[in-house]
Amino acid sequence: MKVPANNLLRHYEEHQDEYEKKALEIMRSGNYVLGNEVETFEQDFAKYIGTKYCVGLGNGLDALWLSFRILGVGPGDEVIVQANTYIASVMGITINGATPVFVEPDEYHSIDADKIEEKITAKTKAVLVVHLYGECCEMDKIVDITRKHNLYLVEDCAQSHGATFKGQATGSFGDIGCFSFYPSKNLGAFGDGGGVTVNTEALYKAFRMYRFYGSEKRYYNKVVGTNSRLDEFQAGMLNVKLKYLDALNEDRRRVCNTYLAGIKNPVIQLPKCRKDSKAVWHQFVVMTPYRDEFKDYLEEQGIGSIIHYPIPPHLSEAYAYLNVKKGSLPITERVANEVLSLPLFYGMTQAEMDTVIDAINAFVPKALEQ
């Protein structure tokens, strides 16, 4: 039996009529940009996260770089960010000319909260946390640190729609919560989409202005903004899907709990869950020093898997100019060599999960063969 790494069709096919009806309705409305669907989504998503406002944007990267632009973080400023993240988090900082200062992760793949303060300098303006793989960062400690040092706190929630830390949703702790609605995210559209959650009217108005060429009133431009709008079609699809988000996340938990109970192999390290948080399992990430061999082995048996991410941002060609040397972030670099994300999607069958579990339990690296 083949098991793909992801399969977005299981959920779509279950609610096909509803999605297609909404798609037709939007096409027949004659209104395709910044209309009722976007307004409805912004209100409902803000309510879901527990913030006053949400602003729909074109994608997650725009949410990130516009955040720092609007907060006034630019050349000469430093932003503290975890080193083990998708490169988009870092680009959100560097597009503005600011400098990322990398912090190693803890055992939950979150920024190590105990290593943040030692990186704060006179130039530090903000901390960007990434709720990677759907697990929450240690938000109580981090909120205390940013308050104490008067720093902005921005959350990259591209993988954590609906995740809660001590009962509070990610995206509601900091000044700005940045979301991506790329199709494979926990709340995914049928193309690109993004948004921010904020609690002040000033930030709400700023994002609305920046996403629309810097104008509050059409053709009266106050700042050099951009074109980054969530479109009616994507917002309409998200309005349908938002109702199912909790159920979608619950189903990911079902799969992950089955993996946690079933996978028993001394060379495969299972992910750990923070006690204070309710993760939404964007990925189920195991670690093994035999990662590449393990990935090939699964592939041979028709089991898909993905490395999130093979090259940490500081070692990517794009960031050679930062001059952060190889070996300077040893935990991040080891993790990048050992992580592998297992198949995980809504509606995985028992047979599919068993196929993955049995294959993993039978894996013996060549170096350990008798």
| Footprint on this chain of ligand PLP (rule: CB under 6 A) | 59-61, 85-86, 88-89, 130, 156, 158-159, 180, 182, 192, 194
Quickly tell me which residue has 């932003």 as its tokens.
79
Say how far apart CA 138 and CA 199 lie, in whole Å: 21
188/343 with CB nearer ligand PLP: 188
Q: Which two tokens stand for residue 97?
A: 């000319």
Picking from 250, 266, 315, 342, the residue whose alpha carbon sits closest to that of residue 11 is 250
Closest contact distance (angstroms) between CB of 135 and ligand PLP is: 12
Comparing every residue's Cβ against ligand PLP, the nearest one is 60
State whether residue 99 is helix, strand or coil. strand
| Least spacing, CB of residue 249 vs ligand PLP, in Å | 16
Asked if residues 233 and 61 have their Cβ atoms less than 8 Å apart, the reply is no
- Write the single-letter amino acid at 94: T
Residue closer to ligand PLP, measured from CB, 193 or 236:
193
Nearer residue to ligand PLP within complex by CB, 132 or 342: 132
Nearest approach in angstroms of CB 171 to ligand PLP is: 13
Query: Smallest distance from the beta carbon of 196 to ligand PLP, in angstroms?
Result: 12
Cα–Cα distances (Å) from 219 to 31, 208, 214, in that order, read 20, 14, 9
Residues 6 or more apart whose Cβ sits within 8 Å of residue 201: 52, 53
Please name which of 197, 228, 230, 235 lies closest in space to residue 211, comparing C-alpha atoms.
Answer: 228
Please, what is the minimum distance in Å from the beta carbon of residue 186 to ligand PLP? Answer: 10
Residue 189 vs 303, nearer CB to ligand PLP: 189
Nearer to ligand PLP, 60 or 236 (CB): 60
